[in-house]
């Protein structure tokens, strides 16, 4: 399918999800289920063996609670997301086959936290190879995102490692946006996709800087991890989106510099990844790593091909501006860029 870009506005999370569905169908995705559920909307689509599961929340909880009820999102507004490898119309939206699982067997995922009403703008990207990026300006100057793809850019392995990401973990996917403090993707713009970043709130200096909630997942082969899905959860507990194996991104934004020095890390250039003599900033791939067992070493998983870390906005470029590098077009957002192939 040819690359595609679409922009516009939406009146609510449900309206936004319906626009996503219409656009995906035009890009060759097949609808398995598409209907109202509760006060929101539920959609399941597939293409080339990948099944995407999405749920728009309208003052609802959409993720399963842990037995303790702790660390799960409150009722609110947003769109939840996870990938799987099949669809069963008789199962709830968050129990479809092949998705990431938390320690209690319930589904782990992520998504975008959204206002109850209109958003300032949306941007849909397909690079022509089924790598999907959805960026939403939820309020003027404040951006959130979600997306997925069939394979990370390969780094010495042959399998296709599916991935998906969101600006908010399931914990903050639909929570009330009136919470105090800086909350990425809610009250301030989101960190780049895949980044080890969804700490609550962003300005907090916790006792344990590694306690980050999962907002990115990669499906590895069974030889790497038998349960397949790894996440960037920072803590060995289901409430953080822990799926049984650690995954990290080179853009590690926790205050404690978790595992610093154990894998290539951009931490040392944070705040300095831009030009000062002229307009510009590098486009840096968001390399991801998995902790192996046995061996306890960090092995490269690759990186998503169409989203990159870039601090061009505010350094000579504006939000949603096109940045041309090497004959290719990228659209800039605060902290990241998306390949605009159409």
Examine the pLDDT at 101 and tell me if it is beyond 60: yes
Stronger pLDDT, 37 or 247, i.e. the higher one: 37
Handedness of CA 239, 241, 244, 247 (dihedral sign): negative
Instruction: Please say if the pLDDT value at position 9 is more than 50.
Output: yes
Dig out the tokens for 333 from the structure.
Answer: 């957002």
Predicted TM-score (pTM) of this structure = 0.93
Q: How confident is the model at residue 206 (pLDDT cuts 50, 70, 90)?
A: very low
Residue 179, pLDDT > 80, answer no
pLDDT for 208 beyond 60: no
% of residues, the chain, pLDDT over 90: 65
Mean of pLDDT values over 251-278: 70
pLDDT averaged over every residue in the chain: 89
Where in the chain are the domains? 4-339
Q: What percent of the chain has pLDDT over 70?
A: 89
Residue 113 pLDDT > 70: yes
3-state secondary structure 279-342: CCCCCEECCEEEECCCCCCEEEEEECCCEEECCCECCCECCCCEEEECCEEEEEECCEEEECCC
| Region 245-261 average pLDDT | 73
> Is there a contact between 38 and 59 (Cβ–Cβ < 8 Å)?
no
Which parts of 97-172 are beta strand (E)? 110-113, 119-126, 132-139, 142-149, 162-166, 168-169
**What average pLDDT does the segment 61-75 reach?**
76
Tell me which residue of 223, 81, 83 sits closest to 162, measured CA to CA.
83
pLDDT band at 334 (very low <50, low <70, confident <90, very high): very high
Structure tokens, 64? 């399963």
Nearest residue to 79 via CA among 145, 141, 132: 145
**pLDDT given at position 172:** 86
Candidates 288, 279, 327, 280; CA nearest to 307 is: 288
The kind and range of the H/E element at 25 are helix 13-26
CA–CA gap between residue 207 and residue 191 (Å, rounded): 21
Query: Dihedral of the CA atoms 152, 230, 331, 253 (nearest 10)?
Result: -130
- Do 228 and 220 touch, CB atoms closer than 8 A? yes
Asked if the model's pLDDT at residue 305 lies above 70, the reply is yes
pLDDT value at residue 263 = 83
Assigned token pair, 177: 């946006």
């Amino acid at each position: 399918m040819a690359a595609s870009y679409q922009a516009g506005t939406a009146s609510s999370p449900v309206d936004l999800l319906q626009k996503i569905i219409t656009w995906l169908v035009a890009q060759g995705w097949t609808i398995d289920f598409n209907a109202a559920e509760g006060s929101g909307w539920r959609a399941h689509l597939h293409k080339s063996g990948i099944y995407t599961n999405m749920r728009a929340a309208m003052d609802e909880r959409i993720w399963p609670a842990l037995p303790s009820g702790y660390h799960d999102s409150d009722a609110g507004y947003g769109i939840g997301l996870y990938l799987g490898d099949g669809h069963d119309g008789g199962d709830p939206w968050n129990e479809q086959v092949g998705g990431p699982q938390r320690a209690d067997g319930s589904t782990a995922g992520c998504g975008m936290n959204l206002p109850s009403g209109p958003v300032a703008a949306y941007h849909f990207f397909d690079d022509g190879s089924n790598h999907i990026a959805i960026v939403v300006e939820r309020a003027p100057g404040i951006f959130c995102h979600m997306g997925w793809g069939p394979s990370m850019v390969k780094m010495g392995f042959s399998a296709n490692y599916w991935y998906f990401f969101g600006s908010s973990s399931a914990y903050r996917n639909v929570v009330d946006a009136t919470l105090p403090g800086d909350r990425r993707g809610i009250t301030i713009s989101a960190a780049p996709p895949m980044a080890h970043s969804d700490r609550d709130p962003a300005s907090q200096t916790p006792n344990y800087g590694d306690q980050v909630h999962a907002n990115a997942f990669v499906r590895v082969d069974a030889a790497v991890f038998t349960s397949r899905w790894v996440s960037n959860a920072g803590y060995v507990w289901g409430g953080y989106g822990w799926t049984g194996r650690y995954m990290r991104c080179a853009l590690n934004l926790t205050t404690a510099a978790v595992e610093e020095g154990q894998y290539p890390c951009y931490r040392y250039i944070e705040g300095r990844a831009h030009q000062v003599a002229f307009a510009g900033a590098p486009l840096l791939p968001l390399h991801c790593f998995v902790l192996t067992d046995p061996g306890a070493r960090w092995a490269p998983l690759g990186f998503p091909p169409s989203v990159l870390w870039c601090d061009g906005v505010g350094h000579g470029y504006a939000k949603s501006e096109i940045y041309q590098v090497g004959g290719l077009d990228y659209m800039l957002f605060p902290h990241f860029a998306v390949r605009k192939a159409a």
